Amino acid sequence: MSTSTHRHRPRTPARDRPRGNVPLWSIAVTALVATAAIAVAALLPGMRHSRPPSAAPAPPVAAVVATVDGQDIPVRELALYLAQERAATFTHFRQKFGADDGPHFWTTEHDGQTPAAYLRERALADVTRVTVELNLAHRQGLLADSGYDAFLRNWQTENTRRQKAVTAHQVIYGPVQYTESNYFTYVLSNLAAALRDRLTDTRAITTPDSALRSYFTAHRGDFPHQSFATAHEQVRQAYVLDRYRALIERLAGSAHIHVHHSVFDAVPVN
């Protein structure tokens, strides 16, 4: 095991989210793929490559790849971020180095880094950001358990509830069954909104008129044909979101990360 700190870019909360009754944990939670098989299968959209014969066996989905501020990150959770970042990684190496899809794409070095290592680093940065967000929600009293196991239990409970409702010919909103990834996106979006409200209510994020006016001036193009007075609420919401993202970024940048490289380096990306 070794210790390392990684930077990452902020992520924009999902705009397309299912609507429906939010379970208790959802109003206060966040986390992410379907079963062990689905988690691995999710890493194979479109482009498919064979694992090198000498590669180490894939670690169990419950194996811990890293800890972020003391919170265990299992392979199953990291797999979701690997799937999300896969296309962007392929595009990066194709545009910057002219790399083509093929059996050695993920293991060929470019400027001393393989696409596989680059993808894992991006996924680790993503999971770090979400983990500090969950931990903050826990400290703010919005989340009883920020662990991934708690998310999985609540995901399964919600799908059971929905299936029973359908069987009883009751009306439900949203899908009959959530995938692991979609449910994560749904609850994370709800949690982030609740957390922003809590931080403004407790004045951890303040919205003085002077700051809002400065934001309006600096982002004038985002509010075309509007005065500060008419755009005031939109400006306030945009300003709070900007401050919230900056806060999460700072927390992620100072997070204490322990990477279990014997597991992390063996997680398949192809």
Q: For residue range 166-205, what is the model confidence (pLDDT) as tens digits?
A: 999 999 999 999 999 999 999 999 999 999 999 999 999 9
User: Residue 60 above 60 pLDDT?
Assistant: yes
- pLDDT attached to residue 46: 34
Can you name the residues that pair with 258 across neighbouring β-strands? 3, 67
| pLDDT range class, residue 270, cuts 50, 70, 90 | confident
Sequence-distant (≥ 6) Cβ neighbours of residue 24 within 8 angstroms: none
3 state DSSP class of 83: helix
- pLDDT attached to residue 155: 96
To the nearest whole percent, how much of the chain has pLDDT over 70? 79
Average pLDDT over residues 24-44: 36
Q: What is the pTM of this model?
A: 0.76
User: Residue 54 above 60 pLDDT?
Assistant: no
| pLDDT range class, residue 161, cuts 50, 70, 90 | very high
- pLDDT attached to residue 57: 85
Element (H, E) at 47: none
User: Residue 22 above 80 pLDDT?
Assistant: no
pLDDT in tens, 216-232: 999 999 999 999 999 99
The dihedrals phi and psi of 71, each to the nearest 5 degrees, come to -90, 125
Task: Give the lowest-confidence range in 24-28, 68-72, 176-180.
Answer: 24-28
Mean pLDDT, the chain, as a whole number?
Answer: 83
- pLDDT attached to residue 189: 94
User: Residue 8 above 70 pLDDT?
Assistant: no
Average pLDDT over residues 87-92: 96
Q: How far is residue 238 CA from its own chain's centroid?
A: 20
Average pLDDT over residues 25-50: 36
Sequence-distant (≥ 6) Cβ neighbours of residue 31 within 8 angstroms: 77, 130, 134, 146, 147, 148, 150, 151, 152, 184, 187, 188
User: Residue 39 above 80 pLDDT?
Assistant: no
